[in-house]
Amino acid sequence: MSSIKATRFISEPPFTPFAPVWDYTVAQKTLDIDLESLAEFILVKEKEIVSEYTEDLNDGMTSLGENSLTARFKYFNVLKWDHPECKKLLDEIREFHDIYCTNVVPGYTPPKLKVRCWANVLRKGEQIANHNHATHPHTYISGHFCVKTKDTATIYHPPYMDNKDDVIVVENIPGEMTLFPTWLVHGTSKHEQDDPRITIAFDIVYNEQNIIHVDKDNLVDL
């Protein structure tokens, strides 16, 4: 993938027909986005959304708690916000998705897709616990975009393996978008800076009927 960093992870050859196997790709692409403007806008929206929505909250097993913007992810979609960088981000997701699919699964023609997209704001001492976004038969592709990060990383955990030496550590670089399979377990290192850590996460949805914890009106066409 030109101008894109991609790493393919393949399990060792199984010695029995019952041994777990996997083959997946994690890819990164640097985007031309006004990060400062977007970061400021997200912090403004965080105050509005946290104040407005106080019931039926779900932090998606991230351990960020009910006071977080993450716990309100079903109530908003970053890609619907009235900000030029949010509109640009949708185009970037669409383009990166097409490149990712073309290279990972040559000849694949994706069906009609939608996107749910939210923002995560971490304060000093916080981190996102290990979690995944879905494991149902329609599981597809997820991603995240680093808006304001310093000295943190996202840690991806290969399936069926608990050995800490086998994890994949990807440094969080401002302006970089990452795509990965939705089922892949991941979390972050602890945020130790005084300024907030701001990222945008998203799920590309193969079949919206399998999406829970989200208002269908908050899905955006890819």
Q: Which domains does the chain have, with CATH numbers?
A: 24-221 (2.60.120.620)
Alpha-carbon dihedral 97, 25, 164, 30, rounded to 10 degrees: -50
Instruction: Write the single-letter amino acid at 124.
Output: K
63-73 pLDDT per residue, tens: 999 999 999 99
Predicted local distance difference test score (pLDDT) of residue 161: 62
Alpha-carbon dihedral 68, 74, 75, 77, rounded to 10 degrees: 100
Predicted local distance difference test score (pLDDT) of residue 164: 62
102 and 109 Cβ atoms separated by less than 8 Å: no
**pTM score of the predicted model:** 0.93
24-44 pLDDT per residue, tens: 999 999 999 999 999 999 999
Predicted local distance difference test score (pLDDT) of residue 212: 60
CB atoms within 10 A of CB 126: 19
87-125 pLDDT per residue, tens: 999 999 999 999 999 999 888 888 889 999 999 999 999
